[in-house]
Structure 1
Amino acid sequence: MQAAELGINYIFGHFIHPARGKQAFETYRSHFSPSVFSTQPHAMFAVFVICGETDEEAERIASSTDLWLLRVEKGLDSRVPSIEEASTYHYTSQEKKKVLQNRQRMIVGSKATVKEQLLRLMDRYQTDDIMILNNSFDPIEKQRSFKRIAELF
């Protein structure tokens, strides 16, 4: 609401609380007041994205992000674990549920999967701009993911 009242651009953190997105954008647009910074509302969303060569590869890479989010939410180790560490971690049934819940905050898949899901969110939120976050362990895989996403658009 503050961004709307100040007449500035707005970024919604889909990676924080995706369920609130649609309402957040509606509130921003309906309460927007033009200013010296912007004469009309301009908004984007930020989302975790891991784009692999295949859906399976992206899932493997995302496993480290899954474990990282789980640990961060518990106030534990904030370092991103390796894919190998994530693959040997034994999740409790409650942790498995939390990982599935956290996946709503992410887009994980091949180029085709990622593009389809990004376009769906852009349509849902009525935005043209996206901020992509990738917190995977391997810097090479992170770079490859960003390159694949860039190729989509």
Structure 2
Amino acid sequence: MPEHPTTHPRSRALQDTPLSVLDLAPVVVGATPRDAFRNTLDLARHAEAWGYRRYWLAEHHNMPGIASSATSLVIGHVAAGTTTIRVGAGGIMLPNHAPLVIAEQFGTLESLYPGRIDLGLGRAPGTDPLTARALRRSLGTDGDDFPELVSELRAYLDRAPPPGVARVRAIPGEGLDIPIWLLGSSGYSARMAAHLGLPFAFASHFAPDYLLPALELYRSSFRPSDALERPHAMIGLHVVVADTDEEARRLSTSQQQQFLSLIRGRPGQLPPPVDDMDALWAPHEEATIRRQLRYSVAGSPETVRQRVQAILDETRADELMVVAQIHDHGARLRSYELLSEAVKGAQAR
């Protein structure tokens, strides 16, 4: 099939851009994973009522502050407690799993909640090398076989084989229409998504340096497929909205502290916000974190509306996936509600 010509889509207006939720099922200081799962379902129900399109959960392991390690199970928990919002993985780290198992798990989810399940795939382990070894029982792969794993998974989800053709079959899973997204934080998955004609989601909420080159690579190399006629890109943003800029910036210090613990090699639960980060980080740590969180937005509804629109103008993204690592669950709900209202307010302008 011929390559799709280079495209330069026009920027979308914020009110025309679908908003979705990326939930890391945060375990906050003083709480448990059980609390995190209760909060996850509560947020999903509110997000559905506020008009968010998707609710995705991410696979991470050996992270005290993230409860969504058994991602497929949490997706089922959310899908069972909602009615219309699409629920999916953002993503499943495929090298950690046998493709047949993922095909069966998501085939089961799609059979239970038809037309509502998304499958985002990543090639990173989502953890440290020691935990990756515990997951995979071997470090014989570093993700280089990701294309083969994706191909095998897609084959399991394809239609039944012709009579007389013997192959392993994913039941449930076979023949189901489960949208597959490729996720990435560099050009690797962008190129692969373009080659396969699949939608692409970029993790700009923690890998901003490669965002624009990856999107350009994806769009310029895109090949139309049975799954997708034109390139379709979603970007992840960390967005915190509060009634005032000052309060939003204070709430966002929980995320900054979490990044600080990661770069120090001591990941922990999501801490409460602080009034002054200067007492916690060294200048070089501040510079690193601010660079990593360059596409994070914190402010009042109007501040956020203007900043998110500027990011849309820059990236020409088709969808936005919003993560808000906020310690207080009520403030987290309020942030997503205010963001939804800001989008509706933009529509009314």
| Alignment partner of 1:19 is 2:209 | yes
Q: Deviation at 1:84?
A: 4.7
Question: Which of 30, 38, 62 is residue 252 of structure 2 equivalent to?
Answer: 62
Question: Which of 115, 138, 142 is residue 328 of structure 2 equivalent to?
Answer: 138
How is 1:4-153 mapped onto 2 (pairs within 5 angstroms)? 4-84=194-274, 90-153=280-343
Q: Is the 8 A contact 1:70 1:98 kept in 2?
A: no
Q: Is the 8 A contact 2:202 2:235 kept in 1?
A: yes
SS at match of 2:205: coil
Return the alpha-carbon distance in structure 2 between the equivalents of residues 8 and 21 of structure 1: 17
Return the alpha-carbon distance in structure 2 between the equivalents of residues 53 and 85 of structure 1: 17
Return the alpha-carbon distance in structure 2 between the equivalents of residues 113 and 85 of structure 1: 20
Matched residue type, 1:96: E
Matched residue type, 2:322: I
Instruction: Tell which has more relative contact order, 1 or 2 (C-alpha 8 A, sep 6+).
Output: 1
- Name which of structure 1's ranges 136-145 and 69-78 shifts more when overlaid on structure 2: 69-78
Provide TM-score, normalisation by structure 2.
0.42
Return the alpha-carbon distance in structure 2 between the equivalents of residues 34 and 103 of structure 1: 33
Q: Deviation at 1:23?
A: 1.0
Aligned to 2:32: none
Q: Deviation at 1:24?
A: 0.8
Return the alpha-carbon distance in structure 1 between the equivalents of residues 277 and 220 of structure 2: 45
Q: Is the 8 A contact 1:51 1:114 kept in 2?
A: yes
Matched residue type, 1:152: A
4+ runs deviating over 6 angstroms? 85-88
Q: CA RMSD in A?
A: 1.9
Return the alpha-carbon distance in structure 1 between the equivalents of residues 274 and 216 of structure 2: 42
Return the alpha-carbon distance in structure 2 between the equivalents of residues 95 and 67 of structure 1: 11
Return the alpha-carbon distance in structure 2 between the equivalents of residues 87 and 74 of structure 1: 15
Return the alpha-carbon distance in structure 2 between the equivalents of residues 35 and 8 of structure 1: 8
Provide TM-score, normalisation by structure 1.
0.91
Q: Deviation at 1:128?
A: 3.1
Q: Is the 8 A contact 2:206 2:292 kept in 1?
A: no
SS at match of 1:145: helix
Q: Is the 8 A contact 2:253 2:274 kept in 1?
A: no
Aligned residue pair count: 153
Return the alpha-carbon distance in structure 1 between the equivalents of residues 215 and 319 of structure 2: 13
Larger radius of gyration: 2
- For residues 118 and 82 of structure 1, do their structure 2 counterparts lie closer, same or farther at Cα, with a shift above 3 Å needed? same
Q: Is the 8 A contact 2:241 2:336 kept in 1?
A: yes
Matched residue type, 1:150: S
Q: Deviation at 1:73?
A: 2.5
Q: Deviation at 1:83?
A: 1.7
Structure (1/2) with the larger helix percentage: 1
Matched residue type, 2:271: P
- For residues 85 and 118 of structure 1, do their structure 2 counterparts lie closer, same or farther at Cα, with a shift above 3 Å needed? closer
Gaps of 5+ in 2: 1-190, 344-349
